[in-house]
Amino acid sequence: MNREKLITVTGAGGFIGGHLVRRLLADGHTAIRAVDIKPLAEWYQRLPQVENLSLDLRDKDNCYQACKNAGWVFNLACDMGGMGFIETSKAACMLSVLINTHLLMAARDCAVQRFFYASTACVYNAAKQNVPGVAALKESDVYPAMPEDGYGWEKLFSERMCRHFSEDFGLEIRIARFHNVYGPHGTWDGGREKAPAAICRKVILAKLDGRHEIEIWGDGEQTRSFMFIDDGVEGTLRLMHSAVAEPLNIGSDTLCSVNQLVDIVEEIAGIRLERTYIADAPQGVRGRNSDNTLIRERLGWAPGVPLEVGMEKTYRWIHDEIVRSRGPGAAK
């Protein structure tokens, strides 16, 4: 990709999008359009070197504005969050289909060269994720279709739409199925945060407030693989530069229970907490892991940042954010 050719990143005020814009700048790209629905002041990362636009991409005309003169489009825009949000906001998640529909139409009509779609491991068949010691999910495990209700169905439908825009109109498509991306500069409270950020917040607050206790959703034995943001961005760029047209897992293949994740954060914090389990809280599938056979075959690479390393960076950032929000004298 010519570093002077315009690249559009949607969802740029969010977590992955903000990190992607920063990486593109570091790689020497000089023409970047960053788009997000949030007001500019609310973006997690807003970089003055790029064109920053606050646009609601559910609106078709805004999608044409976002895609105008762009060579590549990275679509990371959607209405989503952690399991607490996904399980209680299914209609809101489904409405994100408008974003991908209108962006694909705009990309086709604006002669975009390559279009990236950020999908999710939530597209996988739930029947293959019903035990903690789950077999790692291959890309082919998405069918027969039984994805996460709401969010997963929208993502799977949008994957199919991308495929058909490629078949019918020749639009070059790249699709990543992200597995539980975490790291600094993302949501850590308010109900949309995911497990790594939520656990960091709970442990930090317990330590700051002198309460040696923590609430855990479910029994803590549910498992996931967690991928640090740097690996997510690296995988995204490698996929975009590749000739891989089919959906590809981008995720860690290290399986970890929620209880083990709490262990890691407690070790970082230097504290041990009494655990209370909330049986009726949203939990999602019982187990989920990424099979990285195909990404190693096709890209010669796979995510590799150790969970302990990524979680320490995440913990330190969230700790500083909490202390800053509390004002002077909050740190202990």
Active site residues: 151
For strands 255-257 and 223-225, give the pairing.
Answer: antiparallel
**Which residues neighbour 196 within 8 Å (Cβ) at sequence distance 6 or greater?**
180, 182, 226, 261, 311, 314
Q: How many CA atoms lie within 13 A of 186 on its CB side?
A: 30
- Per-residue tokens: 43: 């973006």
CB 85 within 8 A of CB 40: no
Find out whether the peptide bond into 147 is cis, omega within 30 degrees of 0: no
Rounded Cα distance between 76 and 98, Å, is 13
Strands (E), the chain: 7-10, 32-36, 51-54, 72-75, 114-120, 172-178, 181-182, 213-217, 223-225, 227-228, 248-250, 255-257, 274-278
**Which residues neighbour 26 within 8 Å (Cβ) at sequence distance 6 or greater?**
none
